[in-house]
């Protein structure tokens, strides 16, 4: 990864030496933060021929320096309105921002080291990937326009920049005070000390920065374009010093004072090298909770990179003094827990949040407490994200896995209200769902993909699963009446199943089926959310046997699955659906449970063949082998790979169990609880002959969470 030349090479080699001082090979060496930053372009990768000018969505991740679930994500920005701010194909860098996510938001306070005169409309620097490197907690790139080698590292709440300028060049900083992913109308920047500047971008992002050179002045340079934004330019005294310029930036959602306190507590008295080494060690400790043996370097690289990616969201929001700004904009003190951003529930309820609980139960606990706090301040409804409900799945799934140090009754009150009381912050179309047992769609056979409608099929399927999750909380708390009511509602998925076609299909007012009906046609939210009929198949993770029973026989299910995998994609260019096997789309979440359906008709080996194909094809795609099949979506795509690579997947995350598959590795050692559990693969086949847990045969393919917490040994025998 380190490919610099001349004097820049020495700087990066010094960092590489720093990371390798421990002698032994490190797990962080397997991680490539650039994986997922590239876009798919070729028809064989996309599944169709490109015609649009715009990019197809990539994984939309960022390659910069960060820690697990950190407040700061210090990353290069190559374009505005990119998911993570960075696209591998872009030729220039606009700055180094302090937040990122991958959902077209954040990218706060981009800073760019510059020399000479620059304007607010022309400052981006060309760069080459030959002079770029990244590893957990560290990023480096050479800016060709300015001759500056830029290095980044970070703590939880501070970003540390080190810029090596050309000899005798005047050092300057250009700061996009009025631009993140969008133009910022409310902003401020001012010098607050000989070596310090501070300000805000809107209400909710505050910063305090120190430099190792005294500041001469800060000037605002206006844009000459009608839609442009001003920038701030900082000049320094002694700016021709031969030493690199170091900038440390603390951030906060509360105040400049808190941003300063974050900086002083975490990095003010630490060198760049010390912070970088501590960041590397933090990642090494987390990655080291799962150790794999056997298989190939490629799969080890993919495994630890996806494990890294699955450990970034949601983001910490509490300052070092415990304060945070809640979802009402009020400052909270002494809450007794660390506050996190709202998880991307629609994406990550499937796997990533449960994986966080397995690796970092203390973080999962605080995410749940944050969710409860947010819900109680939003009309008493449990928080949602984008589509559906799904927070109850995370709550009860975590509780049953042993994360119990929170008030389950408070969480239940929110979840039950969301499931039973229509309201602005509750489930959409809930009255209709409760009355009919399904949500209708409008009969719009020529509906363009990107139009927003009701998404009645997807909502009905997902609400049924959410009902099941809330029912499990009710059962835990002894609320028998609501448990029985919700369990009955959890069968509502059957109400949108059309036996004449074998698909979950839209229903119109009066109960009739949507006509004409084409299961190949993808929709953004007409009947289906970002899917077509094929990718909505078999979704009822709480009741797979019930789904199978909707078909006349196991053979009919087998044929349906085979047809899914062999019927060609319709050829439509849909930017958020890429990576196809027949009509199965791995590049978006709705179909991610489908591969396991063969298990329930006695053909587990066909599931494994499909899982192997997905893991082999869809995580290092494109000419540079740096593209995912689709968006990582806050770590869901990555968590899917991690769990399947070790042979345990959260088929129904509300339940404390995992479906067992054949791992990619000969041995997995997972530190869960006080003793690690191990998974040993016996044989290299796809058909599971038997599963032994501590020498005793497992009945079926699902293993409970409890044995994993007591140091169990799992043997998966295959042929």
Q: pLDDT for 80-111, tens place per residue?
A: 988 899 999 999 999 999 999 866 778 999 99
Closest alpha carbon to 259 in 325, 198, 214, 218: 198
Mean per-residue pLDDT, 690-710: 97
Instruction: List pLDDT tens digits, range 259-303.
Output: 999 999 999 999 999 999 999 999 999 999 999 999 999 999 999
- 63/127 Cα distance (integer angstroms): 15
* For residue 216, pLDDT beyond 70: yes
**What is the reported pLDDT for 18?**
56
Residue 560 φ/ψ, nearest 5 degrees:
-65, -45
CA–centroid distance for 494 within its chain: 31
**What is the reported pLDDT for 23?**
46
Q: Using CB atoms within 10 A of its CB, is residue 672 exposed (0-12), middle (13-18) or buried (19+)?
A: buried
- 103/61 Cα distance (integer angstroms): 9
- 211/323 Cα distance (integer angstroms): 26
The answer to whether the CB of 514 falls within 8 A of the CB of 536 is no
> 597 pLDDT band (50/70/90 cuts)?
very high
- 510/531 Cα distance (integer angstroms): 25
Instruction: List pLDDT tens digits, range 135-164.
Output: 999 999 999 999 999 999 999 999 999 999
Q: Using CB atoms within 10 A of its CB, is residue 322 exposed (0-12), middle (13-18) or buried (19+)?
A: middle
Q: What is the pTM of this model?
A: 0.96
Mean per-residue pLDDT, 53-57: 81
Closest alpha carbon to 110 in 85, 140, 139: 85
> 377 pLDDT band (50/70/90 cuts)?
very high
Mean per-residue pLDDT, 113-139: 97
* % of the chain residues with pLDDT over 70: 96
Least confident segment among 430-434, 552-556, 575-579:
575-579
Q: β-pairing, 125-135 with 92-93? A: antiparallel
Report which of residues 55 and 71 the model is more confident about.
71
Q: β-pairing, 713-718 with 676-682? A: parallel
* % of the chain residues with pLDDT over 90: 87
Closest alpha carbon to 634 in 287, 285, 316, 353: 353
**What is the reported pLDDT for 238?**
85
Quickly tell me which residue has 């490629």 as its tokens: 298
Can you tell me whether residue 298 is helix, strand or coil?
A: helix
Q: What would the 3-class secondary structure string for 100-135 be?
A: CCCCCCCCCCCEEEECCCCECCECCEEEEEEEEEEE
Q: Name the DSSP class of 457.
A: H
Average pLDDT over the chain, rounded to an integer: 94
> 360 pLDDT band (50/70/90 cuts)?
very high
- 388/185 Cα distance (integer angstroms): 32
> 21 pLDDT band (50/70/90 cuts)?
very low
Per-residue tokens: 167: 């000899």
- Helical (H) or strand (E) element with 195: none
Mean per-residue pLDDT, 231-249: 94
**What is the reported pLDDT for 2?**
38
> 446 pLDDT band (50/70/90 cuts)?
confident
Give the contacts of 303 (CB within 8 A, at least 6 positions apart). 30, 292, 641, 642, 645, 664, 665
Mean per-residue pLDDT, 535-561: 98
Closest alpha carbon to 568 in 43, 51, 50, 47: 47
Mean per-residue pLDDT, 207-222: 97
Instruction: List pLDDT tens digits, range 634-651.
Output: 999 999 999 999 999 999
């Amino acid at each position: 990864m380190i490919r610099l030349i001349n004097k820049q090479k020495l700087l990066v080699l010094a960092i590489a030496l720093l990371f390798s001082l421990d002698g032994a090979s490190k797990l962080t060496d397997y991680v490539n933060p650039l994986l997922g930053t590239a876009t798919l372009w070729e028809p064989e990768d996309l599944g169709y021929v490109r015609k649009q000018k715009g990019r197809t969505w990539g994984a939309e991740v960022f390659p910069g320096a960060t820690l697990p679930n950190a407040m700061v994500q210090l990353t290069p920005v190559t374009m505005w309105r990119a998911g993570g701010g960075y696209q591998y194909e872009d030729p220039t860098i606009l700055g180094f921002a302090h937040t990122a996510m991958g959902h077209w938001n954040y990218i706060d306070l981009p800073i760019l080291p510059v020399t000479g005169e620059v304007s607010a409309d022309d400052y981006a620097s060309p760069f080459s990937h030959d002079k770029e490197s990244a590893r957990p907690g560290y990023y480096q790139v050479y800016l060709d326009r300015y001759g500056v080698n830029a290095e980044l590292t970070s703590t939880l709440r501070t970003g540390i920049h080190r810029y090596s300028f050309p000899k005798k060049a005047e050092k300057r900083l250009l700061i996009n005070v009025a631009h993140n992913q969008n133009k910022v109308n409310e902003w401020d920047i001012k010098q607050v000390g000989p070596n310090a500047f501070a300000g805000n971008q809107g209400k909710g992002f505050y910063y305090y920065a120190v430099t190792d050179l005294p500041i001469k002045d800060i000037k605002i340079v206006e844009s000459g374009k009608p839609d442009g934004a001003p920038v701030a330019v900082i000049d320094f005294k002694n700016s021709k010093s031969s030493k690199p310029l170091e900038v440390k930036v603390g951030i906060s959602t509360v105040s400049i004072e808190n941003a300063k306190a974050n900086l002083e507590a975490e990095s003010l008295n630490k060198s760049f090298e010390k912070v970088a080494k501590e960041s590397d060690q933090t990642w090494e400790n987390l990655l080291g909770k799962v150790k794999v043996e056997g298989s190939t370097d490629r799969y080890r690289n993919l495994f630890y990179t996806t494990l890294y990616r699955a450990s970034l969201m949601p983001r910490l929001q509490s300052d070092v003094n415990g304060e945070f700004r809640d979802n009402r904009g009020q400052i909270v003190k002494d809450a007794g827990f660390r506050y996190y951003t709202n998880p991307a529930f629609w994406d990550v309820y499937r796997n990533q949040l449960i994986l966080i609980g397995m690796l970092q139960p203390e973080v999962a606990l605080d995410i749940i407490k944050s969710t409860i706090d947010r819900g109680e301040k939003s009309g008493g409804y449990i928080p949602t994200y984008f589509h559906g409900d799904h927070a109850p799945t995370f709550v009860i799934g975590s509780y049953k896995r042993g994360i119990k140090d929170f008030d389950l009754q408070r969480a239940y009150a929110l979840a039950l209200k969301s499931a039973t009381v229509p309201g602005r912050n509750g489930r959409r179309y809930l009255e209709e769902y409760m009355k009919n047992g399904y949500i209708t769609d409008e009969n719009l056979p020529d509906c363009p993909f990107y139009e927003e409608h009701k998404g009645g099929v997807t909502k009905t399927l997902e609400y049924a699963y959410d009902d099941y999750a809330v029912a499990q909380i009710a059962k835990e708390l002894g609320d028998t009446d609501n448990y029985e009511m919700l369990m009955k509602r959890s069968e509502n998925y059957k109400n949108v199943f059309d036996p004449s076609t074998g698909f979950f299909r839209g229903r119109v007012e009066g109960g009739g089926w949507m006509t004409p009906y084409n299961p190949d046609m993808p929709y953004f939210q007409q009947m289906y959310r970002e899917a077509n009929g094929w990718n909505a198949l078999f979704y009822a993770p709480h009741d797979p046997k019930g789904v199978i029973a909707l078909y006349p026989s196991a053979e009919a299910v087998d044929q349906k699955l085979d047809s899914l995998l062999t019927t060609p994609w319709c050829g439509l260019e849909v930017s958020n659906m890429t990576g196809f096997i027949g009509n199965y789309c791995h590049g978006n979440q709705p179909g991610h449970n489908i591969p396991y359906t063969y298990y329930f008709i006695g053909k587990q080996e066909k599931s494994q063949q499909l899982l192997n194909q997905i893991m082999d094809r869809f995580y290092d795609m494109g000419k540079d082998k740096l593209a995912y099949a689709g968006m990582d979506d806050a770590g869901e795509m990555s968590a899917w790979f991690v769990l399947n690579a070790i042979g345990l997947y959260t088929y129904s995350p509300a339940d404390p169990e995992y479906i067992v598959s054949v791992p990619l590795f000969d041995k997995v050692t997972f530190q869960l609880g006080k003793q690690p559990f191990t998974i040993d693969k016996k044989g290299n086949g796809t058909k599971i002959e038997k599963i032994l847990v501590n020498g005793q045969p497992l009945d079926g393919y699902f293993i409970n969470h409890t044995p994993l917490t007591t140091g169990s040994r799992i043997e998966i025998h295959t042929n």
